[in-house]
Chains A and B, each alone.
Chain A
Amino acid sequence: MAIATVPSLRGEALAQEFEEIFREHGQFVYRTAYSVTGNRPDAEDVLQTIFLKLLRRELPPNFRTNPKAYLYRAAVNLALNSVRSRKYLSPMDDSDGIEAPAASPVLEADEALQRLLTAAIAQLKPRAVEILVLRYAHNYSDAQIAKMLGKSRGTVAVTLYRARARLKKLMQAGETL
């Protein structure tokens, strides 16, 4: 990947610009990462990694044309890597759960479903996850998703449909493991 240099800004101006970008997109990136990883430390890790790259001016040439889309894609990709590496490190499922504090049966069922969902999402293609998360974590419409990711509304709708079908299969398979 080509590494571009941010136009030279020094000291205060650089800090100010950086913080503005963080304020504008930080929570969006964090929520994106959390919805894929399902936990705070990993989401925090993703957020920090992305903005450290920004801080170090390791940016692709297209960053300035659509910062939000770039940061979003980076968040999805890094979050997916995080979940997948967790899976690689963890051949055994963590279905037993921490002993304490114990949750109610309803909460346990919800958490189990959420774990299954997170594991299934990690097996989707990044492009599908990008669309899925915009829809369900950020409540974007098909039109808004299409505009942000530079795709047609038809592509978004079809990708969503296929992603849901694939997720269902993956989750059903996950249950029988």
Chain B
Amino acid sequence: MKNDLKNMDEILSRHLPLPSQEATEEDCNRVLQHLRTQADYTQRESYAGIPAVSVFRWRRFAFAAAGVVLAVLIGSTIMRRPVAFAVVESVDGSLYRVVEGESHAISIGGELANGETVRTNGGAGGMLALADGSRVEMRSRSQLTLERATDGVRIRLGHGGIVVSAAKQRAGHLYVQTKDVTVSVVGTVFLVNAEELGSKVAVIEGEVRVHQGATEKKLLPGQQVSTNSKMPTLEVKEEIAWSRNAEAHVALLQQTAATALAFEVITIRPHTAAAADGRGGAGGSNLAPNGCAAVIPTVDPGRLLIPDTTVWTLIALAYPYPNSDLFGACGHLAPLNLISGGPGWIKSDKWDLEANIPESARLAVNYRLDFGTSIPALSPGEAAKLQKMMLAFLEERFKFAVRREVKEVSAYALTLEKGTSPKLTVFPWPSSSFGASLDDPKFKTVWARIPSGRSLGEGATMSGKDVYMADLARLLARRTGRPVVDRTGFTDPFSFILVFNPPNTNNAAWADLPNVFTAVEKQVGLKLEETKTTVETWVIERIDKPSEN
């Protein structure tokens, strides 16, 4: 880095932290909203602070009895007295207030004011009730300082561990700050450990945001993050085992997990021909070189059956294909390289999967007859449900773990000139199964056989009948190896036939065909342009062979 430091002017220009305009507006608006509530409060009572906890409620009753006018007159005077920030609710052993390096024991009911530091000794833990209704359970050998933040409460955890049951914050946040992270919440249950090596945050209920420098990460129940990879990794339930409420917290975790989308009963076993169920896997190999198994899943409202498949195909089923309700997107995803990593067996070993879908998550499935085969079609939004269940299944049975990265990648954008519509044309290519023109009897025969809503891309031809722009974008992405973004604004169904020389191919028979850009423009009336887009990529960090059924 030393060479980089030669030009400080350039370093300051490029590396001085600057917020995005979006972040600036969002944070400024939030602060203003909060200040508005403070302004009202100030005008009524000439004071801005957090309300007292129940044990101090008499003060509020006293204010109420005195009446609003009296409150306005005397409020500021009274409220400038030190306000109890928290009260000690229970102690297992001893709890100490730390004042100028000296420790003074506090008993149950003891009050803690803004800025005070409290610690637990070797054999004890303690529970603090905060003014906003939150509860902070301290592990033994922990030390923290309670402070008023401008929009709520801040707990500075010096060392040790705490489980925070944060009350719903009316306008602001509850923050827990360690030496290297800040956790902000508005109402949730979570654990923070501050150790020599770094910090760890785990969520039991709700959602927390963990800030470290300019990095922000959202954590959901059961998830945890540590600031140092050398810190030992334990399950959340093990992390909270020291808590006197551990049983309740674990129950909460399990309850949250139960309400999450998950298959009910799952059978996963090495593939046998008998399990192929006549679909996809029966007879011959269905495995493409890219590790995708060509198989049509049987999707009933309460059951999912995928025989003769690879884990790679199942992972693709769990990946939320961008801007699409597509389920079963392995072939579409593979060329885009959005998923990477993992051992070789995930693309070669075959498995049969059968899963029951719980009553609460039954799927809305329609079937359509497609060239004589009944194809399940999921109603809008259902694919996302199935993807979540598939991901939960992979995590549970295969110990599947991915690192998600959001990247800006080269892409194409589909655009349409204002006031125009996509068009259906037939490119006069002798090898085309569509014939020479729209009037060609061959075209009419073939076109009549294609079901409405069907899109298909094979060889140098791509077609769709009564499909949507997302279908064309997906087919183009598969063929070009880049994500395709729909910027046409065209939302009606339309039909198209495209004949072109696919990029990255070397087929002499297609050499004279137009390239994809020309074909899209001349044959469909759209434009395909270079652009950039952000995509979520998955890097497989762990996957094990499945546990016993």
Taken together as a complex, chains A and B put the C-alpha atoms of A45 and B182 apart, in Å, by 12
Taken together as a complex, chains A and B put the C-alpha atoms of A11 and B212 apart, in Å, by 40
Taking chain A's interface residues, is the majority helix, strand, or loop, or is none over half, making it mixed? helix
Known A47-B28, A98-B225; contact A41-B150, beta-carbon cutoff 8 A: no
Within 8 A of A (CB), among B200-239: 210-217, 225-230
Known A26-B31, A52-B150; contact A137-B24, beta-carbon cutoff 8 A: no
- Which of A26, A34, A56, A172 touches B18 (beta carbons < 8 Å)? A34
Cβ-defined contact, A48 with B11, below 8 A: no
Cβ-defined contact, B150 with A49, below 8 A: yes
Taken together as a complex, chains A and B put the C-alpha atoms of A92 and B179 apart, in Å, by 8
Chain-A contact segment, one of B33-41, B102-110, B132-140: B33-41
A136 to chain B, nearest CB (A): 4
Write the A33-76 contact mask toward B (1 if CB under 8 angstroms, else 0).
Answer: 01101111101110111011001100000000000000000000
Cβ-defined contact, B18 with A31, below 8 A: yes
Closest A residue by C-beta to B536: A101
From B17, B181, B228, name the one whose CB has the most chain A CB atoms within 10 angstroms: B17
Known A30-B19, A45-B150; contact A56-B403, beta-carbon cutoff 8 A: no
Residues of B within 8 A of A113 (CB): 1, 4, 11, 15
Taken together as a complex, chains A and B put the C-alpha atoms of A52 and B148 apart, in Å, by 13
Taken together as a complex, chains A and B put the C-alpha atoms of A168 and B4 apart, in Å, by 10
Closest A residue by C-beta to B172: A48
Known A26-B32, A41-B175, A172-B2; contact A117-B214, beta-carbon cutoff 8 A: no
Cβ-defined contact, A117 with B15, below 8 A: yes
Cβ-defined contact, A31 with B150, below 8 A: no
The reply to whether the CB of A97 lies closer than 8 angstroms to some CB of chain B is: yes
Cβ-defined contact, A118 with B2, below 8 A: no
Taken together as a complex, chains A and B put the C-alpha atoms of A56 and B182 apart, in Å, by 27
Cβ-defined contact, B24 with A111, below 8 A: no
Within 8 A of A (CB), among B126-171: 149-151, 156, 158
A22 to chain B, nearest CB (A): 6
Please report the total number of A residues contacting B with Cβ < 8 Å.
63
From A41, A47, A89, A136, name the one whose CB has the most chain B CB atoms within 10 angstroms: A41
Cβ-defined contact, A94 with B28, below 8 A: no
Residues of B within 8 A of A102 (CB): 403, 405, 539
Please report the total number of B residues contacting A with Cβ < 8 Å.
63
Closest A residue by C-beta to B182: A41
Residues of B within 8 A of A114 (CB): 15, 17, 213-214
The reply to whether the CB of B30 lies closer than 8 angstroms to some CB of chain A is: yes
Residues of B within 8 A of A133 (CB): 16
Cβ-defined contact, A30 with B16, below 8 A: no
The reply to whether the CB of B466 lies closer than 8 angstroms to some CB of chain A is: no
Cβ-defined contact, A96 with B150, below 8 A: no
Taken together as a complex, chains A and B put the C-alpha atoms of A139 and B177 apart, in Å, by 33
Residues of A within 8 A of B25 (CB): 27
Residues of A within 8 A of B227 (CB): 94, 96-99
The reply to whether the CB of A171 lies closer than 8 angstroms to some CB of chain B is: yes
Taken together as a complex, chains A and B put the C-alpha atoms of A118 and B16 apart, in Å, by 8
Closest B residue by C-beta to A164: B8
Cβ-defined contact, A15 with B39, below 8 A: yes
The reply to whether the CB of A167 lies closer than 8 angstroms to some CB of chain B is: yes
Residues of B within 8 A of A40 (CB): 19, 23, 27, 211, 214, 216
From A18, A22, A39, A103, name the one whose CB has the most chain B CB atoms within 10 angstroms: A39
Residues of B within 8 A of A89 (CB): 156, 158, 177, 179
From A35, A101, A118, name the one whose CB has the most chain B CB atoms within 10 angstroms: A101
Residues of A within 8 A of B23 (CB): 40
Residues of B within 8 A of A11 (CB): 43
Residues of B within 8 A of A164 (CB): 8-9, 12
- Which of A41, A48, A132 touches B211 (beta carbons < 8 Å)? A41
The reply to whether the CB of B5 lies closer than 8 angstroms to some CB of chain A is: yes
B217 to chain A, nearest CB (A): 6
A11 to chain B, nearest CB (A): 7
From A100, A109, A115, name the one whose CB has the most chain B CB atoms within 10 angstroms: A100
B408 to chain A, nearest CB (A): 11
Taken together as a complex, chains A and B put the C-alpha atoms of A88 and B225 apart, in Å, by 24
The reply to whether the CB of A90 lies closer than 8 angstroms to some CB of chain B is: yes
Write the A103-115 contact mask toward B (1 if CB under 8 angstroms, else 0).
Answer: 1100001111111
Given contacts A98-B226, A117-B15, A136-B12, 12 further A-B contacts (CB under 8 A): A22-B28, A26-B31, A35-B18, A48-B34, A94-B179, A94-B213, A98-B181, A98-B227, A99-B225, A100-B404, A114-B17, A168-B5
Interface residues of B (CB under 8 A from A): 1-2, 4-5, 8-9, 11-13, 15-19, 23-25, 27-28, 30-32, 34-36, 38-39, 42-43, 48, 149-151, 156, 158, 175, 177, 179-182, 184, 196, 198, 210-217, 225-230, 403-406, 539
Sorted nearest first, the 8 A-B pairs with minimum C-beta distance are A90-B179, A94-B180, A48-B150, A38-B17, A164-B8, A136-B12, A96-B228, A34-B19
Interface residues of A (CB under 8 A from B): 11, 14-15, 18-19, 22, 26-27, 30-31, 34-35, 37-41, 43-45, 47-49, 51-52, 55-56, 89-92, 94, 96-104, 109-118, 132-133, 135-137, 164-165, 167-168, 171-172, 175
